[in-house]
Amino acid sequence: MFFPVSVDWRTALAAAPAGGLALFNPARGPLAVRQVARALLEEAAVLGGGQVLHLPGGDLLVGAQAAPGLRAGQLIAELTGKMPESWPLPEGRAQAEARCRNASPAGELPTLAALEARCAALPVTELSRLTFFAEGTSERPVAQRLAPVSLGLPDPGLEALAREWICRRLLAALADPAQRSALPALWPELRLILDLPQGGLSKGAATGSGIGALALLPLVSRADPARFASTEASLRAAGWAVGLVATDARALDWVEAPGAAWAVPVSAVPPRQLPAQLILLGQPVPDWARRPGVLHEVQTP
């Protein structure tokens, strides 16, 4: 059931025998997810005869048999939550071609120098986002979060680096009256939640607004217990409460941080144990979140 390997994906689609399969995994989401999916497609191509073509907009498996490709697709869906699209061949050839042609190409990862330059060149007005939070079943904002803008990079390591660089610029802008006016205006009656770089506030940074406010440190800062303890102590001494921000809600299930406030992206299912205070980032707000001690995002007041 083997057929000649083609350099051109259209030729490959056309050459597939009857009973074959086209399966397309678009280039979306984290790079890790894409690479795992690609490896599973490659394996299906080895097992069932066929080839995987790396297109600008995603990976295309053209398989001589349908079953291995469908199994790979199922596994990809279970691992990543997203089912690749598939078409029986030759019937679905036109549809597969159209989908592959129209898929928007994935962006290239920046080099470290390019990323640093990009973070350094962001205008002050684009450094941060101000979002508002209500508690429980109420929709009345009680808190505001000033957070570094997310670049949406598909690599969590690069995104974390960018967060550090942007957080430092955000702090500097907050401390500088000339730049501060370019940041979103804070609401004095709402509690402030401020994302900080791993090292917390640098010495001499303005802490006037710190009283009663919540500082969010990235979860990875807990990996260095001595440094975290000293950062936490100096923040508390300056009147801040200290919380953790994680990039995925599943961290709540694994990490024991009694008494800590946590900020995590919204998830459809509640964590196994709720922390003392939970701040859910993003929307839509799931029903389980409408309870005391859980803050959820609301529209601008």
Partner 1 sequence: MSQAAPDLFWEGSAPMRDAMALVTLARECVASGVERRALYLRLSLLPARLRDPRHHRLVREVLAPVLRPTRARLYELPGGDLVVLSPPPGEHLDEVRKSVCRVLPEMARDSAMPLLRLPAESARMLSLLEAALGLQALPVAAQEIAAALPIPSSAEMDAALRALATANLSAYLRRQTIWRLVAGDEEPQPIWTELRPHVPDIAAALLPGRALAAHPAFARRFRHAAERRILAELSRPEEARKLGAACLPLGLGTVTEAEFLRLEAVLGPRGRRDLVVCIPVEEMLLDPAGFALARELADRRGWRLGLDEMEPELLPLLPASRLDLPLLRLRFRPQLVSGDGALRATWDAALPADRSRIVLIGADAPVAVAWAWQRGITLFGGRVLEARL
Tell me which residues in 273-292 interact with partner 1 (CB under 8 A). none
Q: List Cβ neighbours of 159 (8 Å cut-off, separation of 6 or more).
A: 150, 151, 152, 153, 247
Could you say which of 19, 30, 57, 136 contacts partner 1 (CB under 8 A)?
Answer: 30
Omega prior to 225 cis, within 30 of 0: no
d(CA 151, CA 143): 24
Q: How far is the CB of 160 from partner 1 (least distance, A)?
A: 6
Q: Say if CB 55 and CB 9 are below 8 A apart.
A: yes
Q: How far is the CB of 91 from partner 1 (least distance, A)?
A: 30
Exposure of 211 in the CB half-sphere (CA atoms within 13 A) = 3
Q: What are the backbone angles phi and psi of residue 78, rounded to the nearest 5°?
A: -70, -35
**Does 233 contact partner 1 by CB under 8 A?**
no
10, 71, 116, 234: residue in contact with partner 1 (rule CB under 8 A)? 116
Cβ atoms within 10 A of the Cβ of 258, count? 7
The span from the CA of 269 to the CA of 239, in Å, is 34
Measured from the CB of residue 69, what is the shortest distance to partner 1 in angstroms?
A: 16
* Nearest residue (CB) to partner 1, 63 versus 210: 63
User: Rule CB under 8 A: is residue 36 a binding residue for partner 1?
Assistant: yes
Only segment of 2-10, 11-19, 73-81, 199-207 that touches partner 1 (CB under 8 A): 73-81
Binding to partner 1 by CB under 8 A, coded x per residue (else -) over 234-273, reads: ------------xxx-xx-xxxxx----------------
| From candidates 10, 57, 139, 155, binder to partner 1 by CB under 8 A | 155
The Cα–Cα gap between 298 and 135 comes to 10
Determine the interface stretch with partner 1 among 41-49, 94-102, 135-143, 186-194 (rule: CB under 8 A). Answer: 41-49
Task: Of 25, 5, 26, 7, give the one whose Cα is nearest residue 16.
Answer: 5
Binding interface with partner 1 (CB under 8 A): 30-33, 35-36, 38-39, 42-43, 46, 75, 78-80, 111-113, 115-116, 155-157, 160-161, 164, 218-220, 222-226, 246-248, 250-251, 253-257
